[in-house]
Amino acid sequence: MEKKIIGRGVLLGALGGLLAFVFARIMAEPIINRAIDYESGRDDAQMALDKAAGKPMADMGPDIFTRSQQQNLGLPFGMIVFGAAMGALFAVVYYLAISRAGRITARNLALLVSGGMFLALYAVPFLKYPANPPSIGHPDTIKARTALYVAMIVIGVLVLFAAIYLGRRLAARLGNWTASIVAAVSFAVVMGVVMLILPPLGHLSSNKSAFGNFDTETPQPLKDPSGAIVYPGFPADDLFHFRLYSFAAQLILWVVIGVGFASLAPRLLGERPSVTAAEVAA
């Protein structure tokens, strides 16, 4: 049975990745193109300032892949593979949770697992470290940004498991509804404290001269030695919409996995739709 569960999870994840790609290709790619154009224009302006100041010119080198290859080959391949991997991970977690789910139905368990994984693996880290368009951000802080984002994921997963454990321990005394609320509030409070402790991305760079003084990862207006603006900062509207579409694409992936598996679960497990997860495990 576990092979069937994992296989369906991989297929649903790949489908979710494909649908997320279609959405991103339509909605997010125009913003990415504008971000790349912005970076090119800013680099030209920076090179002009450096040339006027007598500084050596940096050689950027040619692009390894064309923009068309990135849009039409790299992006779909990456999102489908990522979706398949998330679907497989979901299936493993779902299979392990079946015997511990109590009287939760197999369908509801699929929705809870997918929702919890979306929350811990993406939504919570996104609140602290939201996505930026490609080419926008400090090149010197890539490793630090990656480490902080992974730390948020690991902490979020551990705190989520702790909240689930707390809810199960309190259920007998407080009832499922009250225990679930206490667990959810505990998760939110702990993650809120973690977000306050971890540093914002804008404070990671030791070289702010090229991006200006700021508290975020996006470039501020580029100024010449006299203080005059020679190139504007990155448009706030593009940043907002890119982050919104990035969040929506991930939501599409996890909705497809959760709802799709919830629809398949009764037939996949060979039980009636109203069967509980505990009955399936038995």
Question: DSSP assignment, residue 200?
Answer: P
Cβ–Cβ under 8 Å, residues 262 and 37: no
Per-residue pLDDT of the chain (282 residues; tens, 9 = 90+): 788 899 999 999 999 999 999 999 999 999 999 988 888 888 888 888 878 877 776 665 566 667 677 777 888 999 999 999 999 999 999 999 987 777 788 899 999 999 999 999 999 999 998 888 876 766 667 788 888 999 999 999 999 999 999 998 998 889 888 999 999 999 999 999 999 999 887 655 544 434 344 345 677 888 888 888 888 888 889 999 999 999 999 999 999 999 999 999 888 776 544 445 555 455
Measure CA 222 to chain center.
30
Kindly report the backbone phi and psi dihedral angles of residue 116, in degrees, each rounded to the nearest multiple of 5, phi listed first: -65, -40
Q: Where are the domains of the chain?
A: 2-136+229-281, 141-217
Instruction: Retrieve residue 208's tokens.
Output: 């702010």
Buried/exposed 140-153: b ≥16 CB within 10 Å, e otherwise? ebeeebeebbeebe
Q: How far apart (Å, rounded) are the C-alpha atoms in residues 96 and 176? A: 21
pLDDT at 219: 78
Q: Sign of the CA dihedral 222, 146, 251, 181?
A: negative
Q: Sign of the CA dihedral 238, 240, 243, 249?
A: negative
pLDDT at 7: 94
pLDDT at 189: 97
Q: What is the pTM of this model?
A: 0.84
